[in-house]
């Protein structure tokens, strides 16, 4: 839990430092029209009084019938809600033994939705439960301290997920088996940046993979060995951006404001049925009171890259407020996000379903797929 608490504290310390002089990322006028994000459904999540969700309830999975699973690292459990948001039960318990969890993080439903896989970084395990009966099925060892991304994609019977702050870009898990195979190479700068800037996200394609890495101002194209072969730059209009010299900017900023970070957090890349790519980022402000520092005013942005990666529509803002950073997931062409707001009348949890439209976008040329930046490899 100390590891997760440190992660959460660092991840939320994003300072408003611009990077408009950085040559690696083009900046557009804030008036540039981006995608429109519309909430099409909102479900209230009725947590039980005895198990209130905490600030570490960041990862979610949703079954085909609408059941919601929420991993809460503070409770060291996964909470199960039905399609109407009613509490159904708990998967796992705190501990270090079989079926127990220390830091549940990203979760995923396996094909058929009958099994839920829960990653536990500190135990270096993927713990598999029956989704309905919460009974432990098995555990699979993962490379030590590998932070698994929330977005999981599938190629045949193999689950693929990104690794953050690791040399290997991704892990391949033939989910009927008991081994995870690290593959590929994470750009050097993303290895050094670590999880404080977001998480790596990988999507399998017919020819290889497309990846979003923290601190990198665009998308990487990877071959089937998960080695970077191309790069697509994404400009900035309203979010803070991910300049190539982010690490140097962080050092300078930290000298003035200890612990502060500069830039946006990478939150995921997802592919629509149209072939277009959604790139989701997050900004957050910093509130300081005495010795206490916390993140406030979390903002989510989405950029849409065309299927051929020749043009992009940038920085559509999600129409929501939340006091807790949560990772979005894609269900069909709908983006799902769990929001949590602490209000005078109590805490309000909602699962929002949103669609992204590019009607009215000011499309920008990306320059196409270029060689990967040498300073990142």
- Mean pLDDT score of the chain: 87
Query: Which pLDDT does position 154 carry in this prediction?
Result: 83
Q: What's residue 137's pLDDT?
A: 96
- pLDDT at res. 16: 40
In eight-state DSSP terms, residue 370 is B
* pLDDT tens digit sequence for 233-289: 999 999 988 877 777 777 777 677 765 666 788 999 999 999 999 999 998 876 666
Higher pLDDT, 175 or 5: 175
The answer for residues whose C-beta is within 8 angstroms of residue 317's C-beta and 6 or more apart is 34, 37, 238, 299, 300, 301
Note the pLDDT of residue 61: 96
What is the pLDDT, as a whole number, of residue 264?
A: 82
Of 255 and 7, the one with more pLDDT? 255
Are the beta carbons of 277 and 209 closer than 8 angstroms? no
Residue 8 has pLDDT above 60, yes or no: no
Question: What is the arithmetic mean of pLDDT over 288-313?
Answer: 85
Please give the pLDDT value at position 261.
Answer: 62
pLDDT digits (tens, 9 = 90+) for 343-376: 777 789 999 999 999 999 999 999 999 999 887 7
Query: Could you give the CA distance from residue 64 to residue 313 in angstroms, rounded to a whole number?
Result: 30
CA neighbor of 276 nearest in space, from 246, 316, 242, 324: 316
Structure tokens at 289: 């009171």
How many other β-carbons are positioned within 10 Å of the β-carbon of residue 220? Answer: 30
Categorize the per-residue pLDDT at 210 as very low, low, confident or very high, splitting at 50, 70 and 90. Answer: very high
Q: Quick one: pLDDT at residue 362?
A: 98
Percent of the chain with pLDDT over 90: 60
**So what's the pLDDT on residue 197?**
85
Q: Could you give the CA distance from residue 226 to residue 172 in angstroms, rounded to a whole number?
A: 11
Q: Is the pLDDT of residue 22 over 60?
A: no
pLDDT of residue 229: 95
Q: Which residue has the higher pLDDT, 97 or 55?
A: 97
Q: Give the burial class of 201: count Cβ atoms within 10 A of its Cβ; 0-12 exposed, 13-18 middle, 19 or more buried.
A: buried
Q: Pairing state of beta strands 170-174 and 158-164?
A: antiparallel
What percent of the chain is predicted at pLDDT more than 70?
89
Nearest 5°: the CA angle 230, 233, 234 is 140
């Amino acid at each position: 839990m100390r590891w997760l608490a440190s992660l959460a504290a660092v991840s939320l310390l994003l300072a408003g430092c611009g990077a408009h002089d950085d040559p690696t990322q083009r900046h557009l006028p804030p008036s540039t029209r981006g995608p429109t994000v519309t909430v099409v459904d909102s479900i209230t999540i009725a947590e039980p009084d005895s198990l209130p969700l905490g600030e570490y309830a960041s990862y979610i999975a949703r079954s085909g019938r609408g059941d919601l699973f929420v991993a809460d690292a503070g409770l060291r459990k996964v909470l199960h809600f039905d399609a109407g948001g009613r509490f159904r039960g708990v998967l796992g318990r705190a501990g270090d033994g079989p079926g127990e969890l220390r830091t549940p993080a990203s979760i995923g439903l396996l094909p058929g939705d009958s099994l839920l896989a829960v990653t536990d970084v500190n135990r270096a395990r993927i713990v598999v439960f029956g989704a309905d009966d919460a009974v432990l099925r098995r555990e699979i060892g993962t490379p030590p301290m590998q932070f698994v991304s929330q977005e999981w994609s599938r190629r045949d019977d193999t689950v693929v997920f990104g690794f953050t702050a690791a040399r290997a870009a991704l892990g391949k898990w033939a989910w009927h088996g008991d081994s995870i195979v690290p593959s590929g190479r994470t750009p050097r700068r993303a290895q050094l940046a670590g999880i404080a800037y977001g998480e790596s996200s990988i999507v399998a394609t017919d020819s290889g993979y497309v990846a979003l890495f923290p601190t990198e101002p665009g998308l990487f194209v990877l071959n089937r060995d998960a080695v970077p072969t191309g790069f697509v730059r994404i400009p900035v209009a309203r979010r803070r951006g991910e300049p190539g010299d982010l690490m140097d900017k962080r050092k300078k900023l930290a000298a003035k404001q200890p612990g502060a970070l500069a830039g946006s957090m990478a939150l995921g890349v997802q592919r629509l049925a149209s072939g277009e790519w959604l790139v989701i980022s997050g900004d957050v402000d910093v509130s300081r009171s005495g010795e206490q520092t916390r993140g406030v005013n979390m903002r989510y942005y989405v950029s849409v890259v065309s299927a051929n990666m020749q043009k992009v529509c940038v920085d559509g803002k999600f129409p929501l407020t939340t006091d807790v950073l949560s990772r979005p997931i894609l269900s069909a062409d709908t983006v799902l996000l769990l929001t949590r707001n602490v209000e005078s009348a109590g805490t309000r949890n909602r699962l929002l379903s949103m669609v992204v439209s590019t009607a009215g976008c000011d499309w920008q040329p990306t320059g196409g797929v270029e060689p990967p930046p040498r300073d990142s490899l």
